[in-house]
Amino acid sequence: MVCLGNICRSPMAEGIIRDKADEKGIEIETDSAGTGDYHIGEGPDKRAVAAMKKHGHDITDLRARQFKVSDYDEFDVIYAMDASNFDNMLKLARNDDDRGKVKLILNESQPNRDMEVPDPYFGGDAGFENVYKMLDAACEVILERLK
Ligand code: 4NP
């Protein structure tokens, strides 16, 4: 799960998919990262923590890190939250194998529409609730397919 800062959208996505996978008994490795380096080592934004808590998820253990090229070797699928993250991931890709791993996450729940998870950082709590709903729907589809 990749966004810009790794403190809002991608840690929410990580928290949702890891808890859903646990509930469904699906064994996958999950992680998140940011394309930027501004927040390395920080915990998730308190508004992200609150929105997740409201829905029964605890993401206070997560810490921001920056995406690294070797992540292409570690993971089978890399979900970008928006088109800017997507483009940045493609720039870091070394070959077609890497490029083939990068997807826009909302194309899972709304195929072929290239919808973006809006950056909630400069907005209010409603933005985080909106992000939660979008990511919850997308992660549900991802895991149903893996069952
Ligand atoms: P995220 O949100 O990419 O969903 O983690 C942001 C967090 C921080 C900044 C931008 C977006 N920032 O500019 O510091």
Domain boundaries, the chain: 2-146
CATH 3.40.50.2300 correct for 2-146: yes
User: What is the DSSP-derived secondary structure letter of residue 97?
Assistant: H
By most ligand atoms within 8 Å of CB, the mutation choice from 40, 119, 135 for ligand 1 is 119
| C-alpha–C-alpha distance, residues 27 and 17, integer Å | 11
The residue assigned the tokens 């990068």 is 102
pLDDT exceeds cutoff 90 at 147: no
* Cross-strand pairs, 3: 34
User: 77-109 pLDDT, tens per residue?
Assistant: 999 999 999 999 999 999 999 999 999 999 999
pLDDT value of residue 31:
98
Distance 120 CA to ligand 1 centre (A): 8
What confidence tens digit (pLDDT) does each residue in 41-68 have? 999 999 999 999 999 999 999 999 999 9
Q: What is the pTM of this model?
A: 0.98
State the closest ligand 1 atom to the C-alpha of 6, by its place in the atom list counted from 1.
Answer: 5
